[in-house]
Amino acid sequence: MSEHHHHHDHDHSELSETELRVRALETILTEKGYVEPAALDAIIQAYETRIGPHNGARVVAKAWTDPAFKQALLEDGSKAIGTLGHVSRVGDHLVVVENTPQRHNMVVCTLCSCYPWEMLGLPPVWYKAAPYRSRAVKDPRGVLADFGVQVARDMEIRVWDSTAETRFLVLPIRPDGTDGWSEEQLAELVTRDSMIGTGFPKTPGAPS
Amino acid sequence: MNGVHDMGGMDGFGKVEPEPNEPVFHAEWESRVLAMVRAMGAAGAFNIDTSRFYRETLPPHVYLSSSYYKKWFLGLEEMLIEKGYLTRQEVAAGHAMQPAKALKHGRLERDNVERTMVRGKFARPAPAPERFGIGDRVRAKNIHPATHTRLPRYVRGHVGVVQLNHGCHVFPDSAAMELGENPQWLYTVVFEGRDLWGADGDPTLKVSIDAFEPYLDPA
């Protein structure tokens, strides 16, 4: 038990030690002229405000309503998204993979944390942590169960391990009961996890 | 390197724990670490592959017990010391004590931040024709470089099928060690779950990696 307590105390002091070390590093980098604190602020602000899953959701909603865009998106994700202009700029290597009634796609980075930042923002902690990275490629149905998600037993599970600079975005299946919905309405149904492949879009009328 | 970062297929890490309404950062220092890494990368102090290698080379117990941004911080500090941008004395003192080393692209200024928000380009002109076509059967080599590689252990020695050709890209194995970009063809290669995990594996599973040509042999 004392061993247990010791670890807790250790963790606690380590946290504040980290804060101090991070602050010291920024001081040194600033004093040496390597970084401008205002530039750091601007980077942080971009990730806290502009760059998030709403970007991916707009792309998915457009693909659900515009067959020509969807085809272009599946052929060359970066190029198709580049034509939209209003979503955050993606790099050259975005691949969009389509869920079908026969196939469910899931994205992982077993080696680190590669993730389509421009479409989804910074990855959640679970995406970067050992349980997801270790199991997604071996037991994806078990991982999905951790999210409360089940896919039919006979469906193919297609896992994309992001081991290079290619980035993957899942195009989920458009929910039933959304005929005639606008892109803006549809985008509200698109969840971050549905674009990683660990969830589905929201169901119309269900409590959010 | 065969490090603990290469986690695909390992057991024992427990359940995935999604966090409802997760904040972008869990503490302010995390955001400062992210921004310092981005700013120093944009300034040309290191490339993305080198920064990954420094996180991978953290001692296994440190890697496994540190939070994500703690790993980023530890990797950044060590990398900047080893590349000559800082000294250990400066880190201990918490202040600059030595003249600065020139940055390849200069300091990232506030007005140029927007420019860094688009992902870098990794495609390069091809130095040679591609060796594999879509649909070809290929075997992931059984290689164990002690330095940086992006060929995960769980596919080594296994046969898969080429599904996509992404063109020629910067080769991380070379770039991480600052040996040049050495562009190589990059393919998405798909493996059957049961080939990777045996007869007890999920029969509906297919797993792909993005594999550089030097990782592959014809099968």
A161 closest CB neighbour out of B8, B90, B186 = B8
Q: How many CB atoms lie within 10 A of CB A78?
A: 18
User: Comparing B192 with A13, which gets the higher pLDDT?
Assistant: B192
User: Comparing A205 with A172, which gets the higher pLDDT?
Assistant: A172
B124, closest residue in chain A (CA to CA)? A92
* Residue A90 pLDDT class (50, 70, 90 cuts): confident
B121 closest CB neighbour out of A28, A88, A92 = A92
Ranges of H-type helices in chain A:
2-31, 37-45, 53-65, 67-75, 77-82, 117-120, 125-128, 130-135, 140-146, 183-187, 192-196
ipTM here: 0.97
Structure confidence at residue A208 (pLDDT): 52
B69: left (phi over 0), alpha (psi -120 to 50) or beta: alpha
Phi, psi of A65 (to 5 degrees): -110, -15
B107 closest CB neighbour out of A36, A143, A165 = A36
Structure confidence at residue A14 (pLDDT): 54
Provide CB contacts within 8 A for B112, sequence distance 6+. Answer: A39, B42
Q: How far apart are CA A70 and CA A52, in angstroms?
A: 21
Q: How far apart are CA A10 and CA B36, in angstroms?
A: 26
Q: Which two tokens stand for residue A42?
A: 């601007």
Active site (catalytic) residues of A: 109, 112-114
* Residue A144 pLDDT class (50, 70, 90 cuts): very high
Q: Do B209 and A126 touch (CB under 8 A)?
A: no
Chains A & B: contacts with CB separation below 8 Å:
265
CB contacts, 8 Å: B117 with chain A: 43, 46, 51, 88-89, 118
Provide CB contacts within 8 A for A78, sequence distance 6+. Answer: A90, A91, A92, A93, A94
* The Cα angle at residue A106 between residues B143 and B19, in degrees rounded to 5: 110
Q: How many CB atoms lie within 10 A of CB B46?
A: 24
Q: What is the pLDDT along chain B (219 residues), one digit of tens a residue?
A: 999 999 999 999 999 999 999 999 999 999 999 999 999 999 999 999 999 999 999 999 999 999 999 999 999 999 999 999 999 999 999 999 999 999 999 999 999 998 888 778 899 999 999 999 999 999 999 999 999 999 999 999 999 999 999 999 999 999 999 999 999 999 999 999 999 999 999 999 999 999 999 999 999
DSSP states of A180-204 as a string?
T--HHHHHTT--HHHHHTSS-PPPT
Provide CB contacts within 8 A for B21, sequence distance 6+. Answer: none
Percent residues over pLDDT 70 in chain A: 89
Q: Is residue A19 within 8 angstroms of chain B, CB to CB?
A: yes
User: Which helix H or strand E contains B218, and what residues bound it?
Assistant: strand B216-218
A45, closest residue in chain B (CA to CA)? B31
One-letter amino acid at A145 equals A
